[in-house]
Structure 1
Amino acid sequence: MRRPTPLPTPEEPPRRAAADRGGSARGAASDSAPALAPEAQRREIPARASASRRRSSEPAAAEETAPIPEWIDDAPLFAPEPLRPVDREAVPVDAPAEPPGEAEPTVRLGDVWRSARARRRAIRSEVRRFTVRQRRRRIVWLSVIAAVVLLIAASIGSAYSPLFAVQRVDVVGTSQLDAQTVAHALSGQIGTPLAAVDESAVKAALVQFPLIETYTVEAQPPHDLVVRIVERTPVGFIQYPSGYSLVDAAGVQLSMSSTPPSGYPALTVSDTSSTAFRALGAVIRALPTQLRSIVTAGSAQTADDVTLTIGGTGTRIVWGSADESAEKAKVLETMMVSRPPQGVHVYDVSSPSAIVVQ
């Protein structure tokens, strides 16, 4: 802001006029006054010099000073200059002044590329510094996963490789069948990797043996194939015009012969697929070994009408249904001890809690 210019003081012109008048009066007096003594003149000279200096420092004479308008008294001492808006973009405040005569440096593409590359390197370095733990955990997990994958791949590869090929077939659980005959039927699996054994081929080879009820195949590394067999249990034979058929409790024909098989009872049923035959087969299978060995015949018209015959004496055992067969067999053995079959015609165990002997 510019400093205001002071206005002249109204009292100065009258004082200047009075001074002029006083000077004139003093001049006249000096002209009329007698000459002063030398000491008085020496004192007056400095006074005149100081007065002249004072007069020279005062403003111009009253006649040279313009008259002061009346409105000056009511006007403010100074008028502020209006502020101008400053364009900060055009004139930056902190921008250093460029030295005169110095040209602006040129920016090359290579310098820009090198600066960007250095910046990218610095950013990558900071990222690596702040992600050390995360990268370590990732490396550990990737290592574990890779080890598991390699282990699985190695296991699968070795299982299907000749290192684990079948070199021997073991047959377990046969009593009526010849184990060597069954193993020879499975010889087609020799040389096959344990993991690639053909289940359908094994089943087709074992179907040739009717005495096999169920089987399981187990691979025992490095070179053994174990076949566990559950044989069918014959319950008796049925006489047909063509011969005698040995059957199990399910009615499956196990063998055919022209003579009655020894050690098995003769069965009299209308059909091997009927409920009466299934009940008869279940009863014979539930008999203890000692009791089964003396039974020579069995018959059933319905599922609740099972009857057995003891050989030698012809004693009949009225069994009833196949329910509670174990309890009935236990009660029958106890009764046969106290009442042997030689003196008994009928054992009625259809109700095990109330056995009847005739």
Structure 2
Amino acid sequence: MKRPGPLPPARAPQPKAEAPRPPRIMERDAREDDASPDEFVGGGVSGFRRFADRAAHPGTDETPHRGDAAEGRDDRADLGWPDEPDREVGWFDVARASWARRRALRAEARRFTARTRRRRAYWLGSLGAVALLIVGTLAAAYSPLFAVREITVAGADRVDEAAVAAALEDQIGTPMPLVDHSAVQAAMLDFPLVETYRIESRPPHELVVRLVERTPVGVVASAAGYTVVDAAGVALSTTEELPEGQPLIDVTGGTSSDAFAAAGQVLRSLPAGLRGDVAEVTATTPNDVAMTLAESGAEVVWGDAEDSALKALVLERVMADRPTSDASVYDVSSPNAAVVR
């Protein structure tokens, strides 16, 4: 068996390599670079300028050369400093600077809102003009400038125009928008021939009254004589003798009955030539209206008042084909199947 050799000698410990140190950053000289404003507080404007120069040029002990006095004054003008000997900044300077700042802000605000202010002024001016026009128009309309001075009556045939104008004389001198329509209506009640009326204003001073007169349809016999009535049964006039050209209406129930309303509607639907040939109209109910012709005495059976316009047209054609000399009864109660006897 071989004998082992000796152990190798132990190595001496090697010193550890130091880590590379970062490059040293040169610290700024606080005296040179970090100029403190405290050392210039008592210097007023001049001290503030030295502080500003030191801060703008670090690393120097002296402020840069500023030139002569005139150049210094120009620098003051550029920076907005007062052109006066160095002095301490007081409350008046602060207030004046604040006021100048506010004035500049107001000027900028006015510049950026110029379009809005112009638009607002345009709308306010337009609305003011419209309001002024409306107020002026109303003031003129309700003033004596547009008062009623003339009354004109139109559409009168059997009604006396002068009497109607005289009944409305109390409206003369009244502004047109203030015409009393209730008073006009009360005055028109004295004219039974007037069915409807309409008032028109013609500036500056004319008031027009348009009348629609009632249409007489026949005569109703009574103890007082013969009364001319319209289709609504309104009495228009009364005479002792039977008026010519008006048929005698003989219905059950008087002028307020349904039979009279049907007879009046039938008479109004007749053509003018045929209505003048009717001598008498009779009805006991709204469904049995009948007429008697004056010249021939022929009878016309009408029935109810429905389809009166069609029945009138059929009657005219039938009478043209079969005149009253050849017929005594014309039954048009069914207009699609007229009967002549």
TM-score class, shorter: 0.7 to 0.9
Q: Distance in 2 between matches of 1:268 and 1:102?
A: 128
Report the alpha carbon displacement of residue 150 of structure 1 after superposing the two structures with TM: 1.2
Partner residue of 2:39?
Answer: 98
Residue of structure 2 aligned with 1:168, choices 150, 155, 159: 150
Secondary structure, counterpart of 1:135 in structure 2: helix
Partner in structure 2 of residue 214 of structure 1: 196
| Residues 249, 281 of structure 2: 8 Å contact kept | yes
Once the two structures are TM-superposed, the CA of residue 293 in structure 1 deviates from its matched residue by 0.6
Normalising by the residue count of structure 2, what TM-score does the alignment of the two structures yield?
0.73
Counterpart in 2 of 1:181? Answer: 163
Letter in 2 for 1:333: E
Q: Which amino acid aligns with 2:211?
A: I
> What's the secondary structure of 2:285's corresponding residue?
coil
2:279 pairs with 1:296? yes
Percent identical among aligned pairs is 51
Distance 1:243 1:112 in 2: 112
1:285 aligns with 2:268: yes
Give secondary structure in 2 for the equivalent of 1:272.
helix
> 1:68-127 CA distances to partner (integer Å, 9 max, x unpaired)?
xxxxxx9xx9xxxxxxxxxxxxxxx66424248658987766555444433332222111
Partner of 2:219: 237
Could you say if the C-alpha distance between residues 167 and 100 of structure 1 is closer, same or farther in structure 2, counting changes exceeding 3 Å? closer
* 3-state secondary structure, aligned to 1:341: coil
State the alpha-carbon separation in 2 of the partners of residues 237 and 122 from structure 1.
Answer: 97
Unaligned runs of 5+ in 2: 1-14, 19-33, 46-86
- Distance (Å, rounded) in 1 between the aligned partners of 2:321 and 2:243: 32
* Closer/same/farther in 2, CA of residues 263 and 109 from structure 1, 3 Å limit: farther
Bigger Rg over Cα: 1
Give the corresponding residue for 2:297: 314
Aligned residues: 273
Specify the code of the residue in structure 2 equivalent to 1:135. Answer: R
In the alignment, which residue of structure 1 is the partner of 2:288?
Answer: 305
Who is 2:69 aligned against? Answer: none
Cα–Cα, structure 1 residues 100 and 272, in superposed 2: closer, same or farther, change >3 Å?
Answer: closer
Q: Deviations over 1:189-229 (max 9, x none)?
A: 11212222111111111111111111111111111111111
Distance 1:100 1:249 in 2: 114
> Displacement, 1:136?
1.0
- Displacement after TM superposition at 1:187 (Å): 1.6
Looking at structure 1, the residues matched to 154 and 36 of structure 2 have their Cα atoms a distance apart, in angstroms, of 101
Deviation at 1:343, TM superposition (A): 3.8
Are residue 350 (structure 1) and residue 291 (structure 2) matched?
Answer: no
Q: Give the match for residue 74 of structure 2.
A: none
1:262 to 231, 238, 244: 244
1:253 maps to 2:263:
no
TM-aligned CA deviation for residue 318 of structure 1: 0.4
**Aligned equivalents of 1:353 and 1:210: distance in 2?**
39
Deviations 1:24-82 (A, max 9, x none): xxxxxxxxxxxxxxxxxxxxxxxxxxxxxxxxxxxxxxxxxxxxxxxxxx9xx9xxxxx
Secondary structure of the residue aligned to 2:153 is strand
Q: Residues 125 and 204 (structure 1 numbering): CA distance in 2 closer, same or farther, change over 3 Å?
A: same
Rounded Cα–Cα distance in structure 1 between residues aligned with 2:115 and 2:194: 63
Query: Which residue does the alignment assign to 1:273?
Result: 256
Helix, strand or coil: the match of 1:342? Answer: coil
> Aligned with 2:249: secondary structure?
strand
Distance 1:349 1:94, change over 3 A: farther
8 Å CA contact retained: 2:43, 2:88 = no
Structure 1 residues 99 and 330: CA distance shift in structure 2, 3 A: closer
What residue in structure 2 maps to residue 338 of structure 1? 321
Distance in 1 (CA, whole Å) between partners of 2:205 and 2:194 is 25
Segment of structure 1 superposing worse, 276-285 or 108-117: 108-117
Counterparts in 2 of 1:97 and 1:258: CA distance versus 1, 3 Å: same
TM-score by length of 1: 0.69
Which residue matches 2:312? 329
- How far, CA to CA, are the matches of 2:36 and 2:234 in structure 1? 110
* CA–CA separation in structure 1 for the residues paired with 2:35 and 2:149: 94
Q: Quick check: 1:201 aligned with 2:183? A: yes
Cα offset for 1:287?
0.3
